Chains A and B, each alone.
Chain A
């Protein structure tokens, strides 16, 4: 390089010349590379990059435009959630886990709570209404999560309109979450023993309207993308990973189902009463990005079916409890959504502050100290939008977890990046990573 270029300064190292591209102008870099005889280029992509699906760093070795090696660098979003939870009570844990995979907060909470309930031995004592609400919330969450996967995946491949439609639908779901829990994301709504509070009045008709609206709206994205020749050229035969690759890499979720294997924990190892719902496990047999895209599109309709069945069940269970009867576990605060979000209900505050000292003591003990969980270890797994989300929890009998570990599907599935993209074109890595749909909050925890 003869003159200093503010867009692509270079320096020589033992590994060769290193260029730092900071501006949007790649022309000078391309010119510079064109003048060298070396065909092999190592490109560092991310962690701050609009196409890497979050703070994911990809280190790519290229021969021309062909990727010869792809490696992931992760850990940029590590927040020590597992360690922190060892210092918080079992109930406080839900506020931590909900922030891991931030697109599927209800799945994190449910996996955690199912594990805690298994440790407590109260799996069968969780009221039916609570389980039905969990299922309904999870399926709505699956829709919003798949919407982000489809919208950002399409955006990363250069299609902007699908993202607008996808985020429009996601907004409908987030509004429902806000109505029910007071929060749009990270709601800590599912609690050990049940859910934090019952549905507000008038929720069921509103959700029914939303389901109708979403069913109508989904067609916009379907007509845009399914069978779209540009979309198919960018996704068909890309990111290939067959069944043997999936099993050895421990891949689950839509990527596994795109190999034709109908493996869905909701069907094969039901939890929260999923055996009582009618729905189909969607598969594809193409093992590619297009297959995974079709699976996500069709799972939206299945989720809507489950939500409708859940709403029917909820109408029959009107007034039933949403928390275990055991007052040693159930959170004493009677929460309510007020004008400024969720908090203790005024009636409850009046009772503990004004009339019953025992209630105040009970409330104080349970909220500050928490409940004891018998010693032992369990593993509870659920089908999150990205695959098997497992919670491995060890208790020493105390009021706080002894060890928490989450088997995050994003973390595990991201390992397939190399297998999916090596030997392909650099532009196809984006599609392959988007089809894994990693959420870096979950990967790094």
Chain B
């Protein structure tokens, strides 16, 4: 892993001219009722079906016409089961990891977009865990299709999904070091060895600074 990214880019590589200013991704505050659209109905149904609602759901965010439920990780499986069986969110469209290094204590987020075919609705679950204890319960038991998505998120972010039937790397080679899509993993290259000759990575060959 190189200290400096390709093309001399650091961080997000924002070239807007304010080189010294570091932009940190701010988390939006929770939304107040009424949420609008079908979101109130979803929240009401979930509260009725799940008595521990206020304990399990940390925040409810409605932004740009989308509902996000921030769920505590130890309640994730219970909430998912109720969303699947009672609220008819039959499909989970995978997992997307996000790394917020500045958000101390909640550095790693896992985002699950859910789809209800019965009610034609979409919501999103979000779980955040500290980098030092990057464990999230696996949802493969609830939605089997999450299998590969969780493997990908493990591969790219190093989030360990407890209870996953076979949590191994999926896109990167098995012996790869590090988790490439984390923010502390800079864009760069590794030396390529072919027929005995070694070619250095682009980040070391050229410097566009």
Contact = CB atoms under 8 A, between A and B. Distances in A.
Contacts, number: 134
B15 interface: yes
Interface in B97-113: 97-99, 111, 113
Contacts of A121: 64
B113 A402 contact: no
Contacts of B192: none
B6 A248 contact: no
A379 B124 contact: yes
A394 interface: yes
B98 A394 contact: yes
Contact of A396 (B5, B12, B13): B12
A305 interface: no
B110 to A, nearest CB: 11
Interface string A232-261: 000000000000000111111000000001
A82 B94 contact: no
B96 A405 contact: yes
Interface stretch (A29-37, A134-142, A330-338, A407-415): A407-415
Interface string A69-87: 0000011001010111011
Interface stretch (A7-15, A209-217, A320-328, A368-376): A368-376
A269 B122 CA distance: 10
A388 interface: yes
B24 interface: yes
A397 B169 CA distance: 31
A131 interface: no
A261 B117 contact: yes
A396 B101 CA distance: 13
B187 interface: yes
A74 B170 contact: yes
A292 B78 CA distance: 35
Contacts of A249: 144-145
Nearest to A444: B171
A87 B173 contact: no
A66 interface: no
B90 interface: yes
A414 B66 CA distance: 28
Contacts of B17: 369
A274 interface: no
B181 A75 contact: no
Interface string B165-184: 00001111100000011000
A75 B14 contact: no
A162 interface: no
B13 A247 contact: no
B93 A369 contact: no
B23 interface: yes
B149 A86 contact: no
A375 B147 CA distance: 30
Nearest to B26: A375
A403 B144 contact: no
Most interface-central of A252, A372, A403 (chain B CB within 10 A): A403
A247 B187 contact: no
Interface of B: 5-7, 9, 12-17, 23-26, 28, 63-66, 68, 90-94, 96-99, 111, 113, 115, 117, 120, 122, 124, 143-149, 152, 156, 169-173, 180-181, 187
17 contacts: A75-B172, A78-B172, A83-B180, A118-B64, A249-B144, A250-B93, A268-B120, A269-B122, A368-B15, A379-B113, A381-B122, A392-B113, A394-B25, A397-B26, A403-B181, A415-B145, A415-B147
Cβ-closest 5 pairs across A and B: A250-B145, A405-B96, A396-B25, A249-B145, A75-B171
